[in-house]
Structure 1
Amino acid sequence: MAQGNANAQERLDKINVTCSKHFEKQLLFCIKCKELVCVTCITEHHNGHEMQDLNKTCTKRMKQLKDSKKTIQIMLEELQMTQNKEENMKFHRISQHREVIEAILTQKDTLTEVINRYTTELVEQLDKEVELINSSFDEEGRHLKEKKRVLKEKLKDRKKLLKLSFNDLVQLSENKLEFDTDLPKEDYENRYPTAKFIPGKIAKSNIGMLQFGLQFKLMVLKRLTTDLPVIHFISVGNDETLWINDSKNGKLQKVKSGKDSVEVLLGIKLNVFSMVVTREGNLLVATGDSTLKRINASTGQECASIFKVENKIITAVHLNEKNELIIGVRTEGMRYSFESETSLIKINQKGQIVTTFEFDKNNKRLFTYPRYISSNSKGNIGIVDWFSEYGKGHVVILASNGDIINVYDGNADTKTSYIKFNLGGIVCTTSDNFIVTDISNHLLHLLNSNGQLVFQFDTLSIGIQLPYYLTFSRSGKLYVGSLSPNPHSLFEVECQGS
């Protein structure tokens, strides 16, 4: 370092620059004009300007060069690190894309295998039916052949008898004259119905979809203690108060969220099958009959509403963005029966039925027991359809015209056991996705608008056991009701990336 300073000083001592205008030795540096000047220059053009000794100027310039050299070296190192990171990221992204391509091709192979297998089953089923038909026709042919033989014998016998004398004809017994006049009925269409092939719907949803940059995160903001041991329904009022329900014990409460508990504003003894807050702020409740009850949000007073369905039991109720009620209904009798008449009905605010969804294009019932309903801004409707009391079932996604878009019944890990995939509530996000609770697995299944699985979130990771029902407030908070017997059965959650 000392040697470097000595060299620098030596260079400074050797400074001998002559002014090109006055041919005098330039001794100073004009800070204002940023140029070298001699004595005459100062007198003529730089009088009053701040001047700097050349040695000091050179020292300053050398320091600037050294500092900039060091800065450039640091920048080059940082650029090299960035370049290395980008190359690593590029390699990682290409590897990820290759994995995605492999997954797509695997899905293609799986679908091809399923299609081939099912096609073979259909052809084999039809071949067996043809064999039965051929066997039946062969048997029928033998019967017809025998019938013809008997009739020919009768005809031959009649020709002989017609040659008898009058006395012999009179003496003929009745048995000789009688014969079977019944002929086989030509009811081939009913006895041997013709098979028809009804092509299934081929859609992109059968393949899957690409999802970029998903960051689905949940963070618990509040763990709230309530008077209810479990929570089956949650509805958010216009003033951000909550309606919560324990259907097992027939308790309905209007509550206000506090720091770690809720304040009960109203308490009502009522069996609730489903409920929804209207735009006016009142509560509509399905109570196990054909008419929705209206509960005044201020007083808790209950009365019958104009929304009713004849000879049906309302199982679920939802209010869509068009302010239409979408209700699930069933006929009286055994629940979860495939023979039960179930449907989805849209009702306007005048209580008039707009449309009914009951059968698919193959005239098969859409639902077994429509338990929970949600919808998005595209008009797609998500229905949790139960098969049993324990929530076993699937999620049916309908288009606004009632066509089935997709049926989601869990992935490979959750459809191997009877109780593995038992469903609770369903809610739509601001991104038009659906979130459905998977109670026994402590999971939330994030489905896209078409009902395809996008992500599964483990609620145990944020301390929520047995998530059952969920709903969003107008401010975007997610409320989750739990079946867990611990003190906290209601959770206020921040939801990101849904």
Structure 2
Amino acid sequence: MAFSQSIRQAKVPKPCELCETDINIKWKCVQCNTLMCEKCKKIHLKVQTSIKHDIVDVKSSEAKKEMEHNIVTDNIPYSKVNDFKTKYEQFFAESVQKINQQEKLIIDEVRKYAKALREQLETEKQRIEKYITEKEKNIAEVKENLLNKQSNIQEILDSNQAAKVFSTYPEFNEKEIPNASFKAFPEETRDFFPTKENLKIISNLFGSLQNTKLPKVLPQVNLNVIKSYTTDQNMVLRVLIMDDKKAWISNHLTSTLRKINIDDTIKTVKDISVEVCNMTLTVNNDVLLSLVDSTGVSLLTTKSGEIKPILSVSSLLTLGIHVTKHNEIILGVTERGGTYNLTDKSCRKVIIFEMGGKQKKSYEYDKHKQRLFTVPYRITSNVNNDILVIDRTSDHGGRVVVLDREGQVKWTYQGNPQVNSGDKQFGPTDIVTTSVGHVIVTDFDNHALHVLSGEGDVLTCKVMEDQGIIYPMSLSIDTKGQLWVGCHSENEQTTDAKLHVVKMSF
């Protein structure tokens, strides 16, 4: 008994399971089985998939009993410390490597530059030496000529023949004497002047140590398929999970919007003949639809099955659609007949509407007047009210663009070299966010799921083919926090597209 009490007294306070920082735990979500602080409770209840969750006081008997059975060591962040240690050691090694590389680069460049200077100086030396050689040769010739004439004069003088002396004189007058003068020496050449003062600020050349952010300790992510279902469709283009028993799935190729019940197998409740491009849940659990080749948005009332138009974007075609926690409609649009090749007449933008249809904002260009999107194919939002867009740039490629509410790009994501290298383009087809802001994106052709932090850091990038996920197309998160993945069958003729349930552990 004493040992048990000492263990209980040694417990490390358990932090909020959402923000992982606040240890003042006040609430528990019954459906998610998650303990949380006051701040995260408010955020959790605003998330679309958590609106109807039951939040109970941890002092209640059920929650208190749950807390008493927590394993003590689970609250000690051993893995986070080890992860930080590993990341910092890698960060330090990379910093040293960059210094070594810069040192080698500069030494190599200095050697090249010094060699070039020596070669230039050698060329200058050859020029001066050529000048000196020519002058030495000229002087030698003049000297030899003078000596020869001197010898001739002396010979005539020694002859003591006056007539010969006077007759020879004109030959040796001043004009006949070789001119030994030459141009002055060169006044300029080249010299090396070493830089001294600038060496005191060599950091301008080499670089310097500056403050930077330490590597982030990112949560470890596990993705495990816990259940799989087979449909009678060749694709699940979109999936909306209402709860763990009901869902809507769509296939535009067969003009099918289907309500299903999910148990051990999938059972069809209702089929509606409509070509759905994209769909999203409203706060009332009705469904908003953007339809193929349509300029409007329609509302499906889930209780009656009635579909009626609620807004129009004139001549533009609707693509991605999403309803935020503030009950706003975010819509991606393109001009009719648009391709991936943009022109001055192209219109590719994201528009925010009130639920009543009044336009609030529109995003088409960034602050540098550059286009934000090629094809705004899928849209969602996060806990910060940012707008996350899958921007398709080709038939098989695309990226994630994240905007703040002012329309400024916060970050973009174009795949991970771990999966997207060579001809394996990043091909996103759907995107969802969790209650704490993590981002999950499908990568269709690579059978992969990319999980990112709210800041765009890669938490994991996992090829799911070994767990049966082939050609993932659509995503939805249920009230338990489980990820549902709708897939494409391996060819257009096969009607056995899968719907998988994935447990996410962060």
Match of 1:360 among 339, 363, 366: 366
Show CA shifts across 1:134-157 (max 9, x none): xxxxxxxxxxxxxxxxxxxxxxxx
Q: Which residue of 2 aligns with 1:235?
A: 240
Q: CA deviation at 1:467?
A: 1.4
What residue identity is the alignment partner of 1:244? I
1:490 lines up with 2:499 in the alignment:
yes
Q: Which of these residues, 267, 275, 279, is aligned with residue 275 of structure 1?
A: 279
Q: Check 1:234–1:94 CA distance in 2 against 1; reply closer, same or farther (3 A cut).
A: closer
Q: 2:270 is matched with which residue? A: 266
Is 1:297 equivalent to 2:302 in the alignment? yes
Partner Cα distance (2:221, 2:267) in 1: 31
TM-score by length of 1: 0.58
**Post-superposition CA distance 1:104-144 (Å, at most 9, x none):** 7779999xxxxxxxxxxxxxxxxxxxxxxxxxxxxxxxxxx
Match of 1:313 among 314, 317, 330: 317
Alpha-carbon RMSD: 3.0
Alignment of 1:15-26 (within 5 A): none
Output one character per residue of 1:147-194: Cα deviation in whole Å (capped at 9) or x when no partner: xxxxxxxxxxxxxxxxxxxxxxxxxxxxxxxxxxxxxxxxxxxxxxxx
Compute the displacement of 1:273 (Å): 0.8
Shift of 1:414: 4.6
Contact 2:237 2:486 (C-alpha < 8 Å) held by counterparts: yes
- C-alpha displacement of 1:213: 5.5
Cα distance 1:387–1:265, how it changes in 2: closer, same or farther (>3 A)?
A: same
Q: 1:413 to 1:495 in 2, by over 3 A?
A: closer
Spell out the pairing of 1:75-114 with structure 2 (5 A cutoff).
94=85, 96-103=87-94
Matches within 5 A, 1:293-442: 293-305=298-310, 307-339=311-343, 340-390=346-396, 392-442=397-447
Secondary structure in structure 2 of the residue aligned to 1:406: strand
Aligned to 2:8: none
State the percentage of identical aligned residues.
25
Pick the aligned partner of 2:468 from 442, 463, 469. Answer: 463
Distance of 2:244 and 2:420 partners within structure 1: 40
Label 1:238 to 1:213 Cα distance change in 2 as closer, same or farther (>3 A).
closer
Shift of 1:336: 1.9
| Matches of 2:452 and 2:306, distance apart in 1 | 38
Task: Work out whether 1:255 is the aligned partner of 2:260.
Answer: yes
Q: Deviation per CA, 1:207-233, whole angstroms, max 9, x where unpaired?
A: 997442622112223211212121110
Label 1:488 to 1:386 Cα distance change in 2 as closer, same or farther (>3 A): closer
**1:397: Cα distance to partner?**
1.1
Question: Match for 1:463: what amino acid?
Answer: G
CA 1:415–1:456: 2 relative to 1, 3 Å: closer
Deviation at 1:401, TM superposition (A): 1.5
Deviation at 1:400, TM superposition (A): 2.0
Provide structure 2 residue ranges, at least 5 long, that are not aligned to the other structure.
1-77, 102-211
Does the 8 Å contact 2:239/2:248 carry over to 1? yes
Q: How many residues align?
A: 313
Aligned-pair CA distance for 1:462: 2.3
Provide the secondary structure at the position in 2 that maps to 1:396.
strand
1:301, distance to aligned residue in structure 2 (A): 2.3
The one-letter amino acid of 1:319's match is V
Aligned partner of 1:218 in structure 2 is 223
* Higher relative contact order (Cα pairs below 8 Å, separated by 6+ residues): 2
> In 1, are the aligned partners of 2:399 and 2:414 still within 8 Å (CA)?
yes
- SS in structure 1 opposite 2:390? strand
Structure 1 CA distance for aligned equivalents of residues 217 and 484 of structure 2:
27
Listed one character per residue, the Cα deviations across residues 45-75 of structure 1 (whole Å, up to 9, x for unaligned) are xxxxxxxxxxxxxxxxxxxxxxxxxxxxxxx
Q: Distance in 2 between matches of 1:367 and 1:237?
A: 30
- Displacement of 1:93: 6.7
The structural deviation recorded for 1:295 is: 1.7
Asked whether 1:284 is paired with 2:288, we answer yes
How big is the shift at 1:322? 1.1
Task: Indicate if the aligned counterparts of 1:273 and 1:315 stay in contact, CA closer than 8 A.
Answer: yes
Residues in 2 aligned to 1:109 and 1:363: alpha-carbon distance in whole angstroms: 40
Q: Mark the structure with the bigger radius of gyration.
A: 1
Q: 1:364 to 1:240 in 2, by over 3 A?
A: farther
